[in-house]
Amino acid sequence: MRPATFPAPSRRGARLRRRRQAEAAARIRTGGAAEARALLAGIDGRHADILRAEAAWELEDWPAVIAGLEPLLPEGAATAQDAGLILRVAVAAARQGDRERLRSLERRYRTMRGQAARALEALVDAPRDPRVLTETVSTYSVIEGSAA
């Protein structure tokens, strides 16, 4: 009879982290953003940071959205995959009236093209009430591996 084998502790921990992240993503999508934040406590990494920011978005916690996503923004030219992150930061900045951050994003990503570029330009040029654009920008999912 062979002794029972168990996954190595590091593999077990990684599996638990992935499971908690998957559960957090599901809770965000079903209206449980606050619970998702609790599930993500103590988990490091890009995917966890994006999930925390997505939960903050659902809770309209604009400073937390910016704090979570801004460090993930690309230094150079933005790709199509970066558009969701950039636009989420832009909407959060607009929602809290941070015009300087909006102008900074516009300068930083002036080479961005297509619908994302038009949305960023509209946010920068918008009157003080950016809620009109929130619906459009919400179609850019920032949860990696998900489709809006």
Q: How many H helices and E strands in the chain?
A: 8, 0
Could you tell me what percent of the chain has a pLDDT over 70?
A: 79
pLDDT per position as a tens digit, 48-90: 999 999 999 999 999 999 999 999 999 988 888 899 899 999 9
> How far is Cα 20 from Cα 88, in angstroms, rounded to an integer?
23
Residue-level pLDDT at 148: 37
Start-to-end CA span in the chain (Å): 51
* pLDDT (average), residues 120-146: 63
- SS3 percent helix, strand, coil of the chain, rounded to 5, is 65, 0, 35
pLDDT tops 50 at residue 146: no
pLDDT tops 50 at residue 107: yes
Residues 6+ apart with CB under 8 A from 109: 78, 86, 117, 120
pLDDT band at 137 (very low <50, low <70, confident <90, very high): low
pLDDT per position as a tens digit, 4-54: 544 455 788 889 899 999 999 999 999 999 999 999 999 999 999 999 999
Residue-level pLDDT at 10: 74
> How far is Cα 30 from Cα 54, in angstroms, rounded to an integer?
12
Residue-level pLDDT at 126: 75
pLDDT band at 134 (very low <50, low <70, confident <90, very high): low
